[in-house]
């Protein structure tokens, strides 16, 4: 009971952070449901105020591109290379433009977000909480996301404190867009972890289907020790329907985040390349003042790469959990409780119902993405170094 309450608090904290950054415009309601096991139900609803808030963010970031980015260009040291200034300003403008697009997507497709969230809530309610109880692993996943987001917020606050008496507009042109984009990837990772937990519970329920009955509104409660073959078939059919419902939700989530993730990863890769480029330039041309700049660039690289690593790891764990269903089906075949034709039909269904987490179909978001990003960064870094400025331009 205590862990469940902590999970709900953590979930609400994450929702507030996403709301402030324009990534959760809809309303969220949670309520405790009396049952054998203490649990909560949630429901989403459309919010016009959330749309107005997102539109205000769009106006702010548009003003940043129009007014603040040109001001940043004027404040650059006259000795900086034109290439460095152009790259820096391009990255800043691109980050703000992507934030405008993403907040607009969340505003336009808010009804789709509400529909997906409520469908997941209905699945939980329809098939009771016994199968979808939060466990310790779920708590670790939520706690992991909270630590990550808290780290980002602390990083933003520290930069604001440092810039209050210096260049506060840098916060709006560079730091805030990076925080919004990072939060989107971490939000996506959390949702994938939640879906992974649903599939984990389904796999465990499928394993127990030949041993125990599963309580649900559509299936009457039977004896705990199943000797009736018909009861096993009912359990199996129930789990199969539940899995198909969660599968469709996962596909809709993957489709919704597909294009936003493409923009975020593209932006982060470009910024990582330029940050590494600046580190190399500082090391080659600045003997005394390069250390602070290099530390700052290293910090930026970490902030760009960490959300991508978290997302890739979440997708890998999700795919691993989903693939376990096939092994469970094979184990059930050995029991002779379920007709082999039913099992073969389910196995064929699993073969053709894969959840593909991709960036708008261009590349997969599992750990192979990290290998591709590393190769891309090295390739373009070599090309970029061919245009390194002369010594006089960076001293």
Least confident range from 48-52, 62-66, 291-295: namely 291-295
Length of the chain: 395
pLDDT, residue 135, reads 45
Amino acid 29: pLDDT? 81
Exposure letters 243-282 (e unless 16+ CB within 10 A, then b): bebbbebbebbbebbbebbbbbbebbbbbbbbbbbbbbbb
* Residue 330 pLDDT exceeds 70: yes
Distance CA 80, CA 73 (A): 11
Quick check: 33 pLDDT over 90?
no
State yes or no: pLDDT of 133 exceeds 50: no
- Please, are residues 306 and 148 in contact by the beta-carbon 8 Å criterion? yes
- Mean of the per-residue pLDDT values of the chain: 77
Contact in structure between 277 and 222 (CB atoms under 8 Å): no
pLDDT at 112 over 90: yes
Predicted local confidence at residue 161, as pLDDT: 58
pLDDT at 190: 86
* Residue 389 DSSP one-character state: P
Whole-number Å distance between alpha carbons of 123 and 185: 25
pLDDT band at 390; cut points 50, 70, 90: low
44 three-class SS: strand
Helix axes 229-285 and 368-385, enclosed angle (nearest 10): 20
- Give me the helices (H) in the chain, please: 2-20, 48-63, 69-74, 82-108, 110-126, 136-163, 169-170, 176-208, 229-285, 290-333, 340-352, 368-385, 391-394
Please tell me whether residue 213 adopts helix, strand or coil conformation: coil
pLDDT higher than threshold 70 for residue 55? yes
pLDDT at 95 over 70: yes
| 350-377: average pLDDT | 90
**Residues 71 and 169 sit within 8 Å (Cβ to Cβ):** yes
Per residue in 277-295, pLDDT tens?
A: 888 877 776 554 545 566 7
Q: Do residues 261 and 188 lie in contact, with contact meaning Cβ atoms separated by under 8 Å?
A: yes
What is the predicted pLDDT for the residue at 107?
Answer: 93
Cα–Cα distance for residue pair 390/295, rounded to 1 Å: 23
Q: Which residue has the tokens 């990550």?
A: 148
pLDDT of residue 279: 82
pLDDT at 225: 42
3-state SS assignment for residue 356: coil
Quick one: tokens of 313? 């790891």
* SS3 assignment, position 27: strand
Q: Take residue 201 and report the two structure tokens written for it.
A: 């519970």
Q: Which of 89 and 260 is assigned the larger pLDDT?
A: 260
Q: Is the pLDDT of residue 318 over 80?
A: yes
Residue 34 has pLDDT above 80, yes or no: no
Which one-letter DSSP state was computed for residue 344?
Answer: H
- 352: pLDDT confidence band, cut at 50, 70 and 90? confident
Residue 160: pLDDT above 90? no
Q: Are 194 and 135 in contact (CB under 8 A)?
A: no
């Amino acid at each position: 009971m205590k862990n469940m309450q902590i999970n709900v608090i953590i979930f609400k904290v994450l929702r507030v952070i996403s709301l402030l950054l324009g990534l959760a415009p809809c309303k969220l309601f949670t309520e405790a449901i009396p049952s054998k096991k203490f649990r909560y139900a949630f429901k989403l609803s459309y919010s016009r105020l959330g749309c107005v808030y997102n539109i205000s963010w769009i106006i702010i970031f548009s003003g940043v591109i129009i007014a603040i980015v040109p001001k940043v260009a004027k404040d650059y040291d006259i000795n900086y290379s034109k290439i460095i200034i152009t790259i820096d300003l391009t990255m800043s403008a691109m980050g703000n433009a992507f934030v405008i697009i993403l907040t607009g997507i969340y505003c336009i497709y808010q009804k789709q977000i509400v529909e997906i969230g409520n469908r997941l809530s209905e699945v939980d309610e329809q098939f009771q909480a016994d199968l979808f109880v939060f466990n310790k692993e779920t708590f670790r996943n939520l706690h992991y996301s909270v630590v990550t987001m808290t780290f980002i917020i602390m990083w933003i606050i520290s930069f604001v404190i440092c810039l209050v008496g210096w260049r506060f507009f840098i916060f709006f042109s560079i730091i805030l867009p990076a925080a919004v984009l990072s939060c989107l990837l971490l939000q996506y990772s959390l949702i994938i972890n939640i879906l992974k937990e649903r599939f984990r519970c389904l796999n465990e329920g499928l394993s127990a289907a030949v041993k125990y009955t599963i309580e649900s509104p559509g299936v009457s409660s039977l004896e705990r020790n199943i000797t009736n073959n018909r009861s096993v078939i009912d359990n199996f059919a129930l789990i199969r329907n539940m899995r198909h419902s969660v599968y469709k939700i996962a596909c809709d989530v993957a489709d919704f985040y597909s294009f936003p993730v493409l923009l975020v990863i593209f932006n982060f890769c470009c910024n990582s390349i330029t940050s590494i480029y600046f580190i190399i330039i500082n090391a080659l041309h600045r003997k005394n003042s390069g250390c602070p700049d290099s530390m700052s660039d290293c910090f930026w690289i970490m902030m760009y790469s960490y959300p991508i690593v978290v997302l890739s790891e979440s997708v890998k764990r999700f795919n691993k959990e989903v693939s376990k269903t096939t092994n469970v089906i094979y184990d059930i075949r050995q029991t002779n409780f379920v007709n082999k034709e039913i099992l073969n039909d389910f196995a064929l269904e699993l073969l053709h119902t894969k959840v593909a987490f991709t960036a708008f179909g261009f590349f997969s978001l599992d750990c192979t993405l990290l290998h591709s990003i590393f190769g891309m960064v090295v390739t373009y870094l070599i090309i970029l170094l061919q245009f390194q400025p002369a010594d006089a331009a960076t001293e």
